Structure 1
Amino acid sequence: MAPFGVGGRTVSVRLHRVAGMLHLGLTGGIGSGKSTVARRLAELGAVVVDADQVAREVVAKGEPALAQIAERFGDHLLTEEGELDRPALGRVVFGDPAALRDLEAITHPAIWERTARLREQARAEGARVLVHDMPLLLEKDMGAQYHLVLVVDTSEETRVRRLVEHRGIPEEDARARMRSQVSDAQRRAAADVLLGNEGTPEDLAAQVDRLWAERLTPFADNLVAGRAADRPSVVQLADPDPIWPGQADRLIARIRHALGDRLVSAHHVGSTAVPGLVAKDVIDIQLGVAHLEDADDPAFVEALTAAGYPRRLEIDHDVSKDDTPWPKRYHLTSDPGRMTHVHVREVGSPGWQWTLLVRDWLRADPEARADYAAMKREIVAADGVWARYPEAKEPWFAVADSRAQEWARRTRWQPGED
């Protein structure tokens, strides 16, 4: 029986991050080496919740779910020892949508209850890192529910060879199983961390060890302390990177998951949202709230902090362009591997609108984009100290504001959602 029911049908599931604990989703195609990564993470100190194991446990002998299955589908699905006859159950529900729905109505609640219990147990025992080893993570659209998604990336040919040689699975059966899963391209697009596994187990373990030391441990420590990751002291401009928009989409999805209906809008803004523009390797996200006071609600602040975005109290406004106050709230990331700035503004406020206007103007106007890039390079060449960089750009924005406003009038610009 496949985890979370037979047949891998997509269902709506929702996990909640446990405050102060780094929650990782681990996935990969069949034969990718995902289990090897899970074992190494456990050796390093993570608590691993194996979705396949949980799915087996909830229908073990003596479990309420097994009794419900026997009641719904018949005692003939039990072996003489009282265990579930999985192949027989598969024959009953495959090709019968109603039977499959009934089975999932029994197994899914039990699976998520046990998963939540294991997660809470890990927290109570002081775990810093929890790994959810979840083969169908992408099929069930669960990426937003973790702080990070780790994908073990292995070519199809390598996986087929390993399945044939190590598990004795016929080649056509191996390829058929792969066709039933999401594509390698989809996994890569969903990954915050890609662990390549074309080499030896030792090579893979070395990657996991580096990830643990350089990113996971400091990220977990920052979550426990409720603090932001260290930022560089000097600005380095990066060439435009096509992966920035996808990274922003994943971060926004996680923030939406954390805040729910407290969030009105969310946009990727700043230089990494402008194709073709050099930028600091920082994802800027603008969150829109109905009233700025909503962003001061302790539940709002706690949800963002648990998601890995603690508040920075010393920044509470933007530089106004119309001599009126432009208040905002500001959060940074706890993740040392993906620098992120989160700006919370009231929807429709001057600061909220101006941020979207400048982004869209720079996207549309090559000359403005070139001017802005040249100014950035001049500042970095002359000084480049991170703490002084935002202020050093303000004179350019003060002059550019009239150009952006004129472009908005000419094009009848309105704030959009992209």
Structure 2
Amino acid sequence: MTLSIGLTGGIASGKSTVSNMFKEANIPVIDADIIARQVVEQGAPAYRLIAEAFGSGILQEDGSIDREKLGSIIFQNANEREKLNSIVHPAVRKEMLRQKEEAEASGEAAVVLDIPLLFESKLTHLADVTLVVYVNPDVQLSRLMRRNGLSEEDAKWRIASQLPLNEKKDQADEVIDNNGTIEETKKQFHTLLEKWNLASK
């Protein structure tokens, strides 16, 4: 029986750091963001649908999607964001399920479904347990501004496009508090592996 772990967090909460810890522990990670990039590459069905929905203005000279341009449209408009999600999400879900079934078939002890919008997209049914990487709102804001070189206003727009971390924390089965040092985060991570009987696998 393969334990499927739904990993999520908020933008700049440190989810990628925890995702890398799973990889270092030899637990396969299925990354929704990576798949989301693959399903919109030129020639993929979702690419054509996005170009039709948003027009040629979001394409670069080589025909690929300009993620910055598309991002600036969807981060400030809920309807446009919903339009994009309705194209991308089904394609991502299909590929994630295919990879999850592959991991189960090969007898993996666990598989991580790294999904930024796990709760927003109502995908918790895909996982046996859900894990949220949490930071306080002020820490999240300052980390995002520093990491992406954003103004406070732009950073707040991006954070507001996701469910607040406090709400995710309340809905999760497990929480890793990432406000402290990387060593403190690692300690919580290893405690979870022991709880799930994955420490030595």
The two structures share one fold, judged by TM-score above 0.5 = yes
**2:63 alignment partner in structure 1:** 82
- Separation in structure 1 between the aligned mates of residue 177 and residue 73 of structure 2, nearest angstrom: 39
Aligned to 1:133: 114
Deviations along 1:198-247, whole A, 9 cap, x unmatched? 211122112112211232428xx9xxxxxxxxxxxxxxxxxxxxxxxxxx
Alpha-carbon contact 1:25-1:131 (below 8 Å) kept: yes
CA deviation vs aligned residue, 1:69-124 (integer Å, no higher than 9, x gap): 33455445432222112344456777594x76664453233212211122122223
Q: What corresponds to 1:25 in structure 2? A: 6
* Aligned-partner SS, 2:112: strand
After superposition, residues 159-178 of structure 1 pair within 5 angstroms as 159-178=140-159
1:38 Cα shift?
A: 0.6
1:44 aligns with 2:25: yes
User: Structure 1 residue 143 and structure 2 residue 124: aligned?
Assistant: yes
Amino acid at match of 1:35: S
Q: Which residue of 2 aligns with 1:156?
A: 137
1:214 to 2:200 alignment = no
Shift of 1:175: 2.8
Q: Secondary structure at the match of 1:36?
A: helix
Structure of larger gyration radius: 1
Whether the aligned pair in 2 keeps the contact of 1:150 and 1:192 (CA below 8 Å) is yes
- Residue of 86, 109, 122 corresponding to 2:103: 122
Pair 1:189–1:59, CA change in 2 (3 A): same
CA contact (8 A) 1:45 1:129 kept: no
Partner Cα separation in structure 1 for residue 157 and residue 69 of structure 2: 21
Q: Distance in 2 between matches of 1:91 and 1:186?
A: 25
Sort the Cα spacing of 1:102 and 1:183 in 2 relative to 1 into closer, same or farther, 3 A: closer
Tell me the residue number matched to 1:311: none
State the one-letter code of the partner of 2:173.
D
| 1:53-132 → structure 2 map (5 Å cutoff) | 53-89=34-70, 95=77, 97=79, 103-132=84-113
Q: Structure 1 regions of 5+ residues with no counterpart? A: 1-19, 222-418
Cα distance in 2 between the residues matched to 1:92 and 1:174: 15
Instruction: Give the match's secondary structure for 2:196.
Output: helix
Report the alpha carbon displacement of residue 195 of structure 1 after superposing the two structures with TM. Answer: 0.8
1:337-348 correspondence to structure 2 within 5 Å: none
Opposite residue 55 of structure 1, the aligned amino acid is A
CA distance in structure 2 between the partners assigned to 1:171 and 1:156 by the alignment: 13
Deviation at 1:140, TM superposition (A): 2.2
Q: How far off its partner does 1:186 sit? A: 1.3
Structure 1 residue 172 displacement after superposition: 3.0
In the alignment, is the contact (CA less than 8 A) between 1:149 and 1:191 conserved in 2?
A: yes
Deviant stretches of 4+, over 6 Å: 91-94
**1:113-155 CA-partner distances (Å, limit 9, x unpaired):** 2111221222233322111111111222333432111111211
RMSD after superposition: 2.7
Distance 2:65 2:90 in 1: 18
Q: CA deviation at 1:182?
A: 2.0
8 Å CA contact 1:31–1:163 kept in 2: the answer is yes
Matched residues, percent identical?
Answer: 37
TM-score (norm: length of structure 1) = 0.43
Q: CA deviation at 1:45?
A: 1.8
For the 8 Å contact 1:143–1:190, the answer to whether it is kept is: no
The residue type paired with residue 106 of structure 2 is: E
**Partner Cα distance (1:56, 1:171) in 2:** 27
Change (3 A) 1:67 1:190: same
3-state SS in 1 of match to 2:113: strand
Q: Secondary structure in 2 aligned to 1:217? A: coil
Give SS of 2:90's match: helix
* AA partner of residue 152 (structure 1): V
Q: Given residue 132 of structure 1, which amino acid in structure 2 is its aligned partner?
A: L
SS in 2 for 1:199: coil
